């Protein structure tokens, strides 16, 4: 198992030159519940799919290529039939000409390649034993990169990823923000560029898709528009936090505290709570406030998106030197803190917080891109309660927050 943080396109180029065969798994950096699988045969791309959201993506692509009323339903994992084999079976069953099938497969691979190639850096794992044994067609990486449409889309999605995790992300609007969103889109609905959407979807129905926490793929399918067209026009609503981004996978952590066991040796430490701190928690504006101290805006967005989905309020602090000042007005239930930060590192900041009477008993979790025993020991010596590697698995992030928050409540 060889996991590392790299640029997916650079990895693909290297493996293509090597004539490598197998599966390259690429984690969505802002939503680790989503993993892309790129299948190579002797350096050529056979197929690209996502482990999460397979059906919603296929439904979208099926409609975009006008393959019929609706995409057939994938068989579940217990049948052990790959998405690629099922897709080929469906296309052959439609009695299409071979050239037509190859064109469709190119369309599907192209869309997946744009998603993967627009990721700047993330966790990547090579699985040489995981392969598609027989494929109808494979594609040279050079030709994909040389395609003008693909290059343009990669550039566009790189910009879109600054405010949106991916096309598999779910979008949610709270009832209190529904009117704001409605007013923005009521004005947009009168513009010429929005006609394709306005003609296929009533505004009230369009708004309701976000209340239902639908993924971008699902909304684009129902609205009969392209995902980039949609996310491009949703930028304002996302940046103004009228719309919330949620991980694709529904996160369930009840009765699963063991999920954090493989990530730390000291998760189950008892967190003591002094009477003074107990009083501060009761007087604070939010008893489920979680603080994230990290100089990376990407990490801040991921943590905020994940914890918001679990019902937490999140205070993000980008400048570690301002942490003590920014925290002075709050009494969080848990603090997540990066180790490698400018001016003051996480170990030193954790030590300072432990010297503060107000924060000496607040659970602290160290965040880092490394996963070594020395780092774990240093984190423990500094006074941290736990340790989590980045990009954070949404289930583990929320499970850890719940366990540590519960330990504080129990100690009160």
Query: pLDDT tens digit string along 8-30?
Result: 999 999 999 999 999 999 988 88
Q: Provide mean pLDDT across the span 381-387.
A: 87
Taking the C-alpha atoms of residue 379 and residue 347, their distance in angstroms, rounded to an integer, is 6
Model confidence at 267, pLDDT cuts 50, 70, 90, reads very low
Asked if 246 and 256 touch (Cβ cutoff 8 Å), the reply is no
Report residue 77's pLDDT band, with 50, 70 and 90 as the boundaries. Answer: low
pLDDT at 262 exceeding the cut of 70: no
Output 98 or 406, whichever has higher pLDDT: 98
- Average pLDDT estimate for 83-91: 92
- Contact indicator for 358, 331 with CB cutoff of 8 Å: yes
- Comparing 59-73, 115-129, 365-379, the range with the smallest average pLDDT is 365-379
210: left (phi over 0), alpha (psi -120 to 50) or beta: alpha
Say whether 181 sits in a helix, a strand or coil.
Answer: helix
Return the residue matching tokens 């905020």. Answer: 304
Give pLDDT, residue 79.
56
pLDDT exceeding 90 applies to what percent of the chain?
40
- Is the pLDDT assigned to residue 211 strictly greater than 50? yes
* Predicted pLDDT of residue 56: 94
The helix-helix angle for 98-117 and 54-64 (nearest 10°) equals 120
Strand pairing category for 364-368 and 334-338: parallel
Domain extent listing, the chain: 3-160, 170-246, 257-411
Mean pLDDT score, 225-236: 93
The pLDDT value given to residue 81: 79
pLDDT in tens, 99-137: 999 999 999 999 999 999 999 988 899 999 999 988 999
pLDDT, position 371: 64
Whole-angstrom Cα distance, residue 50 to residue 36?
4
Per the CB < 8 A criterion, the answer to whether 123 and 58 are in contact is: no
Characterize the bridge pairing of strands 289-293 and 313-317.
Answer: parallel
What pLDDT was estimated at residue 408?
56
Please say if the pLDDT value at position 156 is more than 50.
yes
- Which of the four pLDDT bands, split at 50, 70 and 90, describes residue 80? low
pLDDT of residue 395: 81
pLDDT of residue 250: 53
Task: Please say if the pLDDT value at position 328 is more than 90.
Answer: no
State the DSSP code for 248: S
Residue 265: pLDDT band (50, 70, 90) is very low
pLDDT at position 277 is 35
Which strands, in side-by-side order, build the sheet including 334-338? 313-317, 289-293, 334-338, 364-368, 386-389
How far is the C-alpha of 110 from the C-alpha of 324, rounded, in Å? 48
Under the banding of pLDDT at 50, 70 and 90, the label for residue 4 is: low
Question: Distance (Å, rounded) from C-alpha 172 to C-alpha 246?
Answer: 7
**Token output for 328:** 């002075």
Range from 40-54, 69-83, 180-194, 257-271 carrying the lowest mean pLDDT? 257-271
Q: Is the pLDDT of residue 177 over 90?
A: no
pLDDT of 284 above 60: no
Distance CA 40, CA 139 (A): 9
Percent of the chain with pLDDT over 70: 86
d(CA 138, CA 144): 11
Specify which of 41-55, 249-263, 299-313 reaches the highest per-range mean pLDDT. 41-55
Pick the CATH number of 257-411 from 3.20.20.80, 3.40.50.2300, 3.40.50.1820, 3.30.1360.30: 3.40.50.2300
* Mean of per-residue pLDDT scores for the chain: 83
pLDDT in tens, 285-296: 345 899 999 988
Residue 225 binned pLDDT confidence (cut-offs 50, 70, 90): very high
């Amino acid at each position: 198992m060889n996991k590392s943080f790299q640029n997916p396109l650079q990895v693909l180029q290297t493996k293509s030159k090597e004539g490598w065969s197998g599966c390259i798994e690429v984690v969505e950096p802002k939503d680790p519940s989503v993993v892309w699988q790129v299948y190579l045969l002797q350096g050529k791309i056979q197929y690209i799919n996502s482990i999460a959201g397979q059906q919603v993506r296929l439904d979208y692509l099926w409609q975009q290529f006008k393959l019929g009323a609706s995409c057939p339903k994938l068989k579940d994992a217990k049948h052990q039939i790959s998405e690629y084999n099922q897709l080929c079976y469906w296309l052959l069953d439609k009695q299409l000409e071979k050239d037509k099938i190859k064109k469709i497969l190119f369309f599907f691979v192209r869309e997946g390649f744009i998603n993967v190639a627009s990721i700047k850096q993330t966790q990547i794992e090579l699985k040489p034993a995981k392969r598609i044994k027989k494929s109808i067609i494979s594609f040279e990486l050079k030709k994909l990169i040389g395609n003008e449409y693909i290059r343009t889309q990669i550039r566009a999605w790189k910009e879109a990823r600054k405010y949106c995790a991916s096309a598999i992300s779910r979008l949610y609007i709270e009832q209190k923000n529904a009117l704001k969103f409605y007013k923005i889109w009521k004005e947009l609905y009168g513009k010429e560029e929005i006609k394709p959407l306005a003609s296929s979807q009533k505004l009230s129905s369009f708004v309701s898709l976000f209340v239902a926490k639908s993924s971008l793929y699902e909304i684009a399918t129902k609205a009969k528009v392209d995902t980039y067209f949609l996310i491009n026009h949703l930028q304002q609503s996302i940046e103004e936090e009228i719309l919330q981004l949620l991980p694709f996978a529904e996160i369930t952590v009840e009765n699963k505290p063991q999920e954090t066991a493989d990530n730390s040796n000291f998760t189950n430490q008892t967190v003591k709570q002094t009477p003074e701190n107990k009083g501060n928690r009761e007087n604070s504006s939010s008893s489920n406030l979680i603080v994230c101290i990290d100089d990376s805006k990407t990490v801040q967005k991921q943590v905020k998106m994940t914890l918001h989905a679990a019902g937490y309020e999140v205070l993000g602090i980008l400048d570690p030197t301002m942490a003590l000042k920014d925290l002075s007005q709050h009494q969080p239930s848990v603090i997540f803190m990066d180790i490698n930060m400018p001016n003051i590192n996480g170990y030193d900041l954790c030590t300072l917080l432990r010297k503060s009477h107000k924060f000496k008993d607040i659970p602290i979790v160290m965040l880092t891109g490394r996963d070594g025993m020395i780092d774990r020991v240093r984190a423990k010596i500094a006074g941290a309660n736990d340790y989590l590697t980045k990009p954070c698995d949404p289930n583990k992030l929320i499970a850890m927050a719940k366990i540590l928050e519960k330990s504080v409540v129990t100690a009160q």
